[in-house]
């Protein structure tokens, strides 16, 4: 169990990236949704002991993460948003090197570990290939392999599917789902579908604050009957934004489709739309911006 209480982080320039964040994250997959600049990476880096928050506490089981960062690192697997590797080194050699850094000194044990991980992430056939020649999805799978060294109890993945094509994204998410059956896995992303597909619990972080938390199915149910859809001319968008709680807009055949939030029928031309997790997320972010 990961417990975060009243976590705040203020950077030197005065930016308040986290503002009194509290979360309890049990074993399994947990989705952290938020727009760019919401504070997700700051929160992930704080949990991963890469920076010390201004105030608050983080505990993982009986480990005080802020006071005992070395203890947390022994049980942590981390795939950051920008995962760098030595491009001319092969997948085998790089993973072997990382296993040494993780404390696996015995050569036979290390060989068994590296072999098992490369099979697990389906990179065994290309184990001798330089990482520079890997596709985006292959690099992300390699990133998960290094995060799994030492059988971690807490795994953090930050924006893991950004830039992946649909096939690679599916492979990566399937792998992540397997990993998340027995440990705490935090999936930090702005891609709603990733959370919908994988996570039984989630939270929305926006403006440095937790705006919403719960099970995706429950959160979607809370919007049932409250999301309405209408196709309008682009020129009318400003008027609709001033008179309705518009939660999303998108182009369709040269015209604009708006989704609005309303407890009752919002007017002529609107039809009820199924409230998906994307509507939950966008409505929450829109409300946080209006309140700022």
Q: HEC string of the chain?
A: CEEEEEEEEECCCCCEEEEEEEEEECCEEEEEECCCCCCHHHHHHHHCCCCCCCEEEEEECCEECCCCHHHHHHCEEEECCCCCCCCCCEHHHHHHHHHHHCCCCCHHHHHHHHHHHHHHCCCHHHCCCEHHHCCHHHHHHHHHHHHCCCCCCEEEEECCCCCCCHHHHHHHHHHHHHHCCCCEEEEEECCHHHHHHHCCEEEEEECCEEEEEECHHHHHHHCCCCEEEEEECHHHHHHHHHHCEEEEEEEECCEEEEEEECCCCCCCCCEECCCCHHHHHHHHHHHHHHHC
* pLDDT tens figures, 71-112: 999 999 998 877 776 788 999 999 999 999 888 889 999 999
Residue-level pLDDT at 196: 87
Q: Which of 184, 178, 211 is nearest to 40 (CA)?
A: 211
What does the pLDDT average to over 11-30? 94
Q: Would you say residue 40 has pLDDT above 80?
A: yes
Residue-level pLDDT at 171: 81
* pLDDT tens figures, 247-259: 888 888 778 999 9
Q: Would you say residue 179 has pLDDT above 90?
A: no
Is 2-214 in CATH node 3.40.50.300? Answer: yes
* pLDDT tens figures, 210-246: 999 999 999 999 888 899 999 988 888 888 888 888 8
What does the pLDDT average to over 13-34? 94
Residue-level pLDDT at 237: 86
Residue-level pLDDT at 250: 87
Q: Would you say residue 18 has pLDDT above 90?
A: yes
């Amino acid at each position: 169990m990961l417990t975060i209480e009243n976590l705040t982080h203020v950077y030197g320039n005065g930016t308040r990236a986290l503002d009194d964040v509290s979360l309890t994250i049990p074993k399994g997959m947990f989705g952290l949704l938020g727009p760019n600049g919401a504070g997700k990476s700051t929160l992930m880096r704080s949990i991963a002991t890469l920076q010390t928050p201004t105030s608050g506490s983080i505990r993982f089981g009986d480990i005080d993460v802020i006071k005992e960062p070395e203890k947390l690192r022994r049980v942590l697997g981390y795939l950051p948003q920008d995962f760098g590797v030595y491009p001319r080194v092969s997948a085998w050699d790089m993973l072997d090197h990382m296993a040494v850094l993780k404390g696996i000194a015995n050569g036979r044990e290390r060989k068994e570990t590296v072999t098992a991980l490369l099979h697990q992430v389906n990179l065994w056939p290309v184990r001798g290939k330089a990482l520079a020649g890997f596709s985006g999805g292959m690099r992300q799978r390699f990133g998960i392999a290094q995060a799994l060294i030492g059988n971690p109890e807490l795994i953090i993945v930050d924006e893991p599917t950004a830039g992946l094509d649909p096939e690679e994204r599916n492979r990566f998410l399937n792998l992540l789902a397997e990993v998340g059956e027995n440990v705490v896995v935090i999936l930090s992303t702005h891609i709603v579908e990733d959370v919908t597909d994988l996570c039984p619990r989630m939270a929305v972080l926006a403006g440095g604050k937790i705006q919403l938390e719960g099970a995706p199915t429950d959160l979607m149910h809370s919007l049932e009957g409250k999301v309405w859809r209408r196709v309008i001319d682009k020129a009318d968008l400003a008027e609709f934004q001033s008179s309705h709680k518009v939660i999303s807009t998108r182009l369709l055949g040269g015209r604009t489709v708006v989704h609005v939030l309303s407890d009752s029928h919002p007017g002529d031309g609107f039809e009820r739309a199924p409230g998906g997790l994307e509507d939950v997320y966008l409505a929450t972010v829109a409300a946080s911006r209006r309140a700022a």
